Amino acid sequence: MDKTINVGLIGFGTIGSGVVEILNQNLDLVEGKAGVKIRLKKVVDLDITTPRGVEIDPKILSTDVSEILEDPEINIVIELIGGYEPALSFILKAMENGKPVVTANKALLAKHWEEIIKSSKMNNVRICFEASVGGGIPLLGPLNESLAANHIQSIYGIINGTANYILTKMTEENRNFEDMLGEAQDKGYAEQDPTFDIEGFDTAQKLIILTILGFGVYIKQEDFHVEGISKITQEDIKFTQDDLGYTIKLLAIGKMVNGELEVRVHPTLIPQNHLLASVRDVFNGIYIVGDAMGPVMMYGQGAGMMPTASAVIGDCLDIIKNMDKEVLYGPKYTQVKKIKDIKDITSRYYIRMTVIDKPGVLHEISGILSDLNISIESVSQKKRSEGGEVPIFMITHEALEKNVQMAIKKIDKLDVVKKESLFIRVLDE
């Protein structure tokens, strides 16, 4: 191996440290598969004094990003600082200078996809981002290449470990949401401000990337429905599990229906015998259905230092093997004719209401549902408290979303309804 590929790493945090550790441990293996020598020439971070727990030559550490972006000897730039700026400027400058880029920055890709891909094409340099969705799970490469002969019919993803951990523990340990959120924060799975994870925004950003590769269209986050798990109660978990045979998961959904694409993120009732129902704790699972190959499931660690760093190194190898090839990013073909508004989807629904226990309440609620063409499949009231508050649980037959939304608004205006009602969509595939 006479040729040497020089790599510049921007961001020496958790994932960056993992990249350094993998190169320390497995360099011979990586070089053998690349067919070239790989040299980590420069590592840039604002803080280069705090120990990271990995061995690194202090001479390659710097706080000056120009030592990577402007160095003609550096062949590949890895961006792992996250966020929008200065990450976007660094990536664009690297590509302007003819340097291919590897990133795990799903937020940046989701928001600035068009600008980044335009620069990639203009400068004929690759940008690889396997680590941006699913951490160490080989997902985007297979979706873009191995499954390329398929019209993708649907993508269902559990792709946020924090939300999945909380829902798993609520299900298995009969704990409430607030307790499990606190435990997730104590274990470092959730940030002190957990909004990004528990309200579905992280999942939405990853779904944007999956939608680009799976269906050939770029959809901005503000253009589709995003809903989190903070309103899920132990009552919802217990009833749907024990009485209905479902598990509640925060699901990213991309689904083609007669040329119309549904893109949405929300809690979903999944049958307990479905493969996705078995995805526990902080693990991720992505279930893809293609017209030729049928269903396929990808499962593994969706975050963490070493799994994500593994995907980053894999992208570097991809770039090394394809350096001389023309950049062909961006969908050349899409079967999508229209993006379907969530109000126009149809689904079965689980509905939980808290009402005053007195005669005639159920009749009044049923009347509202009937007027909006919503048929009740089953109804249950778990406890009686004459004159007090009781929960009512319902499962509907398939109904139009906008009718369900309208029905819930009308139901919640009734004097007998004492808390905001909740509805959750059901996955029946």
| Structure tokens belonging to residue 408 | 């819930």
Residue 206 CA to its chain's centroid (Å): 4
Phi-psi region of 158 (alpha: psi -120 to 50; beta: other; left: phi over 0): beta
Angle at 157 between CA 154 and CA 158, to 5 degrees: 160
Q: By the 8 A CB rule, do 41 and 71 touch?
A: yes
Rounded CA-CA distance 143/152 in Å is: 9
Taking CB atoms within 8 Å and a gap of at least 24, the contacts of 22-27 are 22/306, 22/309, 22/310, 22/313, 23/313, 24/54, 24/55
Among residues 206, 249, 255, 340, the one annotated as catalytic is: 206
Give the β-pairing of 260-271 and 246-257: antiparallel
- Structure-token pair, residue 371: 């007027």
Going by C-alpha positions, the residue among 116, 112, 84, 122 that lies closest to residue 101 is 116
CA 53, CA 376: separation in Å to the nearest integer?
58
User: Burial, 273: exposed, middle or buried (Cβ in 10 Å; 0-12, 13-18, 19+)?
Assistant: exposed
Q: Three-class SS of residue 387? A: coil
Size of the chain, expressed as the number of residues it contains = 429
User: Residue holding tokens 């109660």?
Assistant: 233
Amino acid at the residue 255 = K
Give the separation between CA 232 and CA 423, rounded to whole angstroms.
10
Active site residue 220: no
Burial class, 256, CB count within 10 angstroms (exposed 0-12 / middle 13-18 / buried 19+): buried
Where in the sequence numbering do the catalytic residues fall? 206
